Structures are given as structure tokens and as C-alpha cells.
Amino acid sequence: MRNYLLILLSVIISSCINNDKKEDSKPQINTTQINTEIKAKIDFLNKEKSAIAILDETYEPFFSKLQIREISAFTNEKVPTNDIQKAREFARSKFSSAVTNFSEAEKKCITFVLQKVTTILEKEGITLMTNHPWNFIKIEDWLCGGFAHTRGNYIILSQKHLDHLNKGWSDNMTPEEELTLVKNLGSLLVHEQMHSLQRSYPKTFENLYANNWNFIKATVADEDLITINQVSNPDAPIANWLIQNNDELYWVRTLLKEENEIPIMGRDFIDNVFTIENSNGIYSVKKDSNEILILKSISDIDFYPKSFPTNRGLDHPNEISAYMFSMYFEALVSESIPFKNVEVDASKNAKSFVNWIDKEMN
């Protein structure tokens, strides 16, 4: 009897230990211990490699299409030539000169957050993003206003952005501080990684834009007024998606205000909506009787912003999907239902986005 009790006690203790181990192995958001079973593929490019990588045009043209006014905005400097080819070489030189090295603390913080991000997304089966490499370039604050953006498969972060989002990072964070860090920095990183995925899997995203969100892919004939004042979005440099509403087609373009010689990033941007006509497959901007381009504001086509749960990035579905995925990720971090409280008009596109994630990103 005594031996039986000893054996029973041994089994109970062993079972408790194994259960504790199983509990410990579950992904936990509120812990400072990085999950070692799931590792993101992370590369922080040094200054030399970054100077080359930042000029990447493998997936689509960027520098080869830039205009003089937007180059001034991106570089925060007057372009020293009116020759467009020389101006583009100036842009390449300035972009390459802006790169710098990540500090060890910055690498550690980003790696920590990405391990958490990967754990959260793996739990939802979102392997399209978790299996994709995370490649980082760091720039000085003056380039592109310090805004986070991408080139090719590289995520570009400025010192200003890193300093802002890394607040609260330490090896001794409270669960609340960690949650805030993962939610804020993590949502930015998944936003930018979506732009990398958009380049690597264009057909996957075209399915979302055309078949779920009712955009029409088209090339619109050039107009000098638009070209001269254009802002080429580094994350969506090809403006080739039109909004469809019954028989009307609209084209959203972010342009530079004309007042300043050196436009300020963000502050001097304005979204214009152009009405597009289709003549036997040739798309062009409508003009009035005086050959002036007909333009509207986003508020003039209010059905459009109302149809999405975000009011940011409405110039291109690349941005809409990236902002919405950030919102989706934040809901996962908070352990809430994504897009639970969106307005009725936006619920259709929100639901189709979640269904698309379940089908295409798993």
C-alpha cells in the first residue's frame, strides 16, 4: 500500500510538472521572455549595403519617374538643376547619403517586438507574413520627412521614428509597457511589411482590390499639371487603381501644393480626385469646356471614405490594405475582434478583408 501511494504521488507530481511546461510554452504577449520556437528572419543592413539597397527598383520604377518638385520635398533641399535626368541622379545620391547604422539597442528592441509579432500572427496562421524576411534600413531624419516607408523588400525607418516608438523599451518592462510597445511598434512594422508583400505577391493583392473592393486597374494618360506636382508614394509608386461608383470612375492623386519652392512632407500634400473617362479602353482625365482638369476633393465622393474603416491612405489600395492590417493586428494584440465596431458602410469591405486574410495570408 505504501509503495502504491508513492507511485501515485510520483505520477501526480510528474503530471503537474508537464502541465506547467505546456503552459509555459504557449505564446504569451505580456512577458519579456522572447519565444524561442518561432524566429523571424531579420536582417539589419549596414550603411554600405543600405546605400545600395535603398535605390532598389526591382519591382517598380521610382527614382526613374521622380519629378523635380517632389525630389525637393523628399530631400528637403532645392534641386540644383532643371535637367530632369540630373535631378534624378541628385535624388539617388541624396537617398544613398541618408542611410546610417542601427544601434545594438535598436536591433534588440526591433527583434524583440518582431518575435512577439511573429508569435501572434503564427497563432492566427498568417504565414504569408511570418515566413517573409524582415529587412531593415535606417535613415537620417531629413529624408522623406522621417516617414517610415519601403523600397523593394526593405523597410526604412528613421532615427526620429525609432526614438518615438522605442519609448518604454527596456529589459525590465512591465506587462503594460510591453503591450504598448508591441502594439505601437508592431503595428507599424506589419504595415510596412504589407508593402513588401504587395510587391512579392501582386496577384494576391489584386484579387483583394479588384474582386473584393471593386477597384479597376487602369493606366491613365499623363497630364502635365498632375505629373509636375505629383507625390510618388514610395509604397505605391504606380497610381493605377480607379474607384468605381456606378458609371463613374475616380482617380485619387496626392499632389504638392504650389506655394512653396521646397514643399514640406505631409504639410504640403493634398489629395485630389479626378474624374476619369474610358474611351475604348483608353483612360483619361475629364476636362471642362476650357480644357481645365475637373477635380474634386475626397469629401465630394463621400461614399468612398465611408466604405473603409480607415480614413488614411485613401490615395491607393496598397495603403488602405496596409493601414487595415495594422488595425487588424492591434485587435489581435488586444485580444479583441478585428473591426468589431466599424460603421455600417465600412462593414462590407472590412469583412471581405478579414475573409481575404484567412484565405490568402494563411
Q: Tell me, what's the pLDDT at 121?
A: 97
Contacts of 175 (CB under 8 A, 6+ apart): 30, 31
Do residues 190 and 129 lie in contact, with contact meaning Cβ atoms separated by under 8 Å?
yes
Q: Tell me, what's the pLDDT at 39?
A: 67
- Report the distance separating Cα 143 and Cα 287, nearest Å: 36
Could you tell me the pTM of the whole model?
0.89
Q: Tell me, what's the pLDDT at 25?
A: 34
| Beta-strand pair 149-151/216-217 | unpaired
Do residues 179 and 30 lie in contact, with contact meaning Cβ atoms separated by under 8 Å?
yes
**Burial letters 88-124, b for 16+ CB under 10 A, else e:** bebbbebbeebbbebeeebeebbbbbbbbbbbbbbeb
Along the 362 residues of the chain, how does pLDDT read in single tens digits? 444 444 434 433 444 444 443 333 333 444 334 444 456 799 999 999 999 999 999 999 999 999 999 999 999 999 999 999 999 999 999 999 999 999 999 999 999 999 999 999 999 999 999 999 999 999 999 999 999 999 999 999 999 989 988 888 998 999 999 999 999 999 999 999 999 999 999 999 999 999 999 999 999 999 999 999 999 999 999 999 999 999 999 999 999 998 889 999 999 999 999 999 999 999 999 999 999 999 999 999 999 999 999 999 999 999 999 999 999 999 999 999 999 999 999 999 999 999 999 999 99
Angle at alpha carbon of residue 47, lines to 85 and 49, rounded to 5°: 70
Three-state SS annotation for 43-107: EECCHHHHHHHCCCCCCCCCHHHCCHHHHHHHHCCCCCCCCHHHHHHHHHHHHHHCEECCCHHHH
Q: Tell me, what's the pLDDT at 165?
A: 87
- Report the distance separating Cα 303 and Cα 224, nearest Å: 29
CA distances from 360 to 125, 353, 354 (A): 11, 10, 10
